[in-house]
Every structure is written in C-alpha cells, then in structure tokens.
Amino acid sequence: MRSILVLGGALASVAIAASTQLCNQYGYFASHGYYFNNNAWGKDAGTGYICTYVDWTDDSHVLFHADWEWAGGENNVKAFPDVGRT
C-alpha cells in the first residue's frame, strides 16, 4: 500500500476529526469550498484500488491523504485524487 499526505495552507495546529472516505470509482465530497474526487477513471487497466480520505477542512485549509495499491497495466494511469477549490 502506498500513501500520500497533502496539506494546503499553513497549519499551526490541527485537531483531526474522523475522515471522510472516498473509495468508489468517482467518490465525491465537498466541504468549506473544497471538492474531493477519488477519480479512479482508469481502474480497469489493472487490479487494485485507491481510497482518498478527507481528514480535515476549514475555510482556508485542507488535509487529505490517499492510499492505493495497483498491479498490472504498468504503462496506464489508473487513478488520481482530484482536489480543488469551488
């Protein structure tokens, strides 16, 4: 399993609440003006999964991470977490 952790903005201290889990192919969540999409559009090019977790948001910061594991289709993109500002 591989993980990536991404922080947006400068965080002095963060109390992490229970995260929102996006494991469906196009799992979507929006909060505080941010949107998150699991975006596993190429999942059929191999076997495996990706899950995107929204750990924390407020009006100017976001904390999220993704876990994934893929096999096969080495030259094909399977998925990427898509995060943006609405």
At 54-77, the pLDDT tens digits run 999 999 999 999 999 999 999 999
At 1-47, the pLDDT tens digits run 665 555 555 444 444 456 899 999 999 999 999 999 999 999 999 99
The 10 Å CB-count burial string (b at 16+, else e) for 5-15 is eeeeeeeeeee
- Number of structural domains in the chain: 1
| CATH code assigned at 32 | 2.60.120.180
Range(s) of the domain holding residue 78 = 2-85
Question: What are 2's two structure tokens?
Answer: 């591989």
d(CA 45, CA 34) in angstroms, rounded, equals 29
| Predicted pLDDT at 19 | 84
d(CA 85, CA 31) in angstroms, rounded, equals 10
